[in-house]
């Protein structure tokens, strides 16, 4: 049993929409979450760290209070029926306006007792299209200030640092309180950042199939042993499991084959973000 440290809901939505022709409403959200827990439990997860965009669901007609109610029921269902702990990270898309970013932080804070654990800075692109590139969106002072505020108020902060992101964004992200790095691909060949990551007890969330698909490099090129030796925690995630046609069992298998030193860590008891900060 282990953590799925990095998984998005949106790719499953695209596949579900193909089946039902609908992408709106509380019921779709509820059924996507149920699908996710069923699949996660089947593939050995005892926790999912879910990336979730409250503004997108608001634009689909599910207001924020309704979202929190669905997520509360979903977290209960995940624990009761599937033995899975749900930790939700509200996505802060770099290209979003300041109002939307703030609303997502406030939703995460309002839901901290429900299922939200933190926030996750990212950019939009289509994971199923290897030619797709994210929109250019520099880290703004406004966004970094909001991340700082969120961590000061007890949320955990994660950030995507993927194939099209710049390793030099890491400094301002860590300074703003980011402690979980999604993918970490620009850091693979940048050993000079290791000590800094270890100093703040950062975790890198490696998604093996996504890494191979996007970088064209084998999983053994991820410097897992180097990171572990430096004192950096390494977790495994599925990223977009349906779109990438993978699951947690497969990601753990690929990771342990390439990196025998890596051992999955079980989730352990639920603590509030504030208590474990």
**Interface residue list for Zn ion (CB under 5 A):** 239
Nearer to Zn ion, 183 or 259 (CB): 183
Nearer to Zn ion, 73 or 215 (CB): 215
Nearer to Zn ion, 126 or 225 (CB): 126
Contact 191, 226 (CB under 8 A): yes
Q: How far is the CB of 206 from Zn ion (least distance, A)?
A: 11
The secondary structure of 198-226 as a DSSP string is HHTT-EEEE-HHHHHHHH---GGGS-HHH
Q: How far is the CB of 255 from Zn ion (least distance, A)?
A: 16
CA distances 138 to 55, 141, 169, 205, Å, are 20, 10, 9, 22
Contact 180, 156 (CB under 8 A): yes
Q: How far is the CB of 122 from Zn ion (least distance, A)?
A: 6
Residue indicated by tokens 């439990």: 41
Q: How far is the CB of 141 from Zn ion (least distance, A)?
A: 24
Nearer to Zn ion, 77 or 234 (CB): 234
- Give residue number: closest CB to Zn ion: 239
Tokens of 12: 């499953």
Contact 232, 194 (CB under 8 A): yes
Q: How far apart are CA 95 and CA 136, in angstroms?
A: 8
Q: How far is the CB of 120 from Zn ion (least distance, A)?
A: 8
Nearer to Zn ion, 134 or 271 (CB): 134
């Amino acid at each position: 049993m282990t953590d799925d440290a990095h998984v998005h809901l949106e790719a499953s939505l695209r596949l579900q929409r193909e089946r039902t022709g609908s992408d709106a409403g509380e019921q779709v959200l509820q059924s996507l979450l149920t699908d996710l827990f069923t699949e996660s439990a089947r593939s050995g997860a005892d926790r999912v760290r879910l990336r979730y965009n409250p503004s997108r669901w608001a634009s689909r007609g599910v207001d924020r209070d309704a979202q929190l109610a669905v997520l509360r029921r979903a977290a209960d269902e995940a624990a009761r029926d599937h033995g899975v702990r749900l930790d939700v990270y509200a996505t802060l898309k770099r290209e979003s306006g300041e109002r939307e970013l703030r609303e997502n932080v406030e939703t995460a804070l309002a839901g901290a007792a429900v299922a939200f654990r933190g926030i996750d800075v990212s950019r939009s692109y289509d994971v199923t299209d290897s030619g797709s590139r994210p929109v250019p969106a520099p880290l703004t002072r406004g966004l970094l200030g909001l991340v700082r505020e969120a961590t000061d108020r007890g949320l955990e902060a994660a950030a995507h640092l993927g194939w099209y992101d710049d390793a030099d964004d890491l400094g301002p992200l860590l300074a703003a309180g980011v402690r979980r790095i999604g993918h970490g691909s620009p850091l693979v060949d940048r050993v000079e950042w290791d000590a800094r990551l270890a100093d703040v007890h950062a975790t890198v969330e490696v998604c093996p199939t996504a890494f191979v698909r996007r970088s064209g490099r084998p999983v053994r090129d991820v410097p897992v042993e180097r990171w572990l030796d430096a004192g950096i925690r390494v977790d495994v995630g599925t990223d977009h499991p349906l779109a990438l046609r993978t699951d947690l069992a497969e990601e753990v298998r690929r990771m342990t084959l390439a990196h025998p030193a890596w051992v999955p860590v079980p989730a352990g008891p639920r603590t509030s973000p504030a208590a474990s900060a």
